[in-house]
Amino acid sequence: MANLRKQAPLSVAEAAKRLIDAESLVKSGVIATGPSASRVARDAFISAGITGLVSAPANVAAYAGSVATGEAIKSSYAPGVLPPPYLPPAGGQPKAPASASPTESAPLPADSIKAQLDEVEMKLLGMATTVMFILGDTSSVFTKNETWPADNAGRLSNFEKLLAVSEQQLKKAARQNKLVFKPYKPDEPIPTEAKERLALIEKKFGRMTETYDTLRFVAAMKDSEKKSQLTA
């Protein structure tokens, strides 16, 4: 299990494959779901005051085929995260070089902040979709429309709202599958600066990823056992 917590960066296609796995496990019946839970969850996301958040129909398998053209885009996608369907062409999401990490005392350059915001945005929209999938609704994905904020403050506010709803709904999904998800709680006061807010978001997201990977691993084991029994 410990190996699930730290994984190498995933390509776009690999990230899409993770969501296909989740869809397959739900359809095979090894992840406990409930229609009422997924309806309540979708309503919670839409009514959370997240500016520009929309739910769009999606064929996950078709999407996975289409992402081949974007394979040059590399990012630190966490397991189970599907980049939203508006993903730009290769080269459209610049990333700061790994070796160019700023010191603790120096503010992040504007382009570095934008790169982090872009990455976190894809992760959180993907995780929100993943949560809906494991609650049983695999018919659509979360993405953004033209009213989604373009300024850093507005985007951060959206991220925090989206993360808060995702955490609450993952609690329900985990409980349905006899797991316990405990959201990350900081020991220090809630930060107000963009850099520190992003760092907290990443920690909260990491805690969600750990629980999702555990759920996916347990479900995959059940699926394997189920198939073995059928062929015995």
Q: Is residue 182 part of a domain?
A: yes
Q: How much is the mean pLDDT over the chain?
A: 74
Residue 157 inside a domain? The answer is yes
pLDDT in tens, 122-171: 888 888 988 998 888 888 888 889 999 999 999 999 999 999 999 999 99
In a domain, 148, yes or no: yes
Please check whether residue 216 is in contact with residue 80, taking contact to mean a CB–CB distance below 8 angstroms: yes
More confident residue, 73 or 184: 184
Asked if 116 and 152 count as a contact pair (C-beta separation under 8 A), the reply is no
> Is residue 230, in this structure, part of any structural domain at all?
no
Q: How confident is the model at residue 35 (pLDDT cuts 50, 70, 90)?
A: confident
Residue 137 lies in a domain: yes
Task: Give the chain's domain count.
Answer: 1
DSSP string over 128-156: HHHHHHHTT--SEEEEE-TTS--SHHHHH
Residue 229 falls inside a structural domain: no
Whether 85 is covered by a domain: the verdict is no
Sign of the C-alpha dihedral computed for residues 17, 19, 23 and 24 taken in this order = positive
Q: Look up the domain containing 64 and give its range.
A: 2-79+108-224
Report if residue 138 sits inside a domain.
Answer: yes
DSSP state of 21: H
For residue 10, list its beta bridge partners: 77
Neighbours of 116 (CB within 10 A): 20
Confidence of residue 19 (pLDDT cuts 50, 70, 90): low
Q: Which pTM does this prediction carry?
A: 0.71
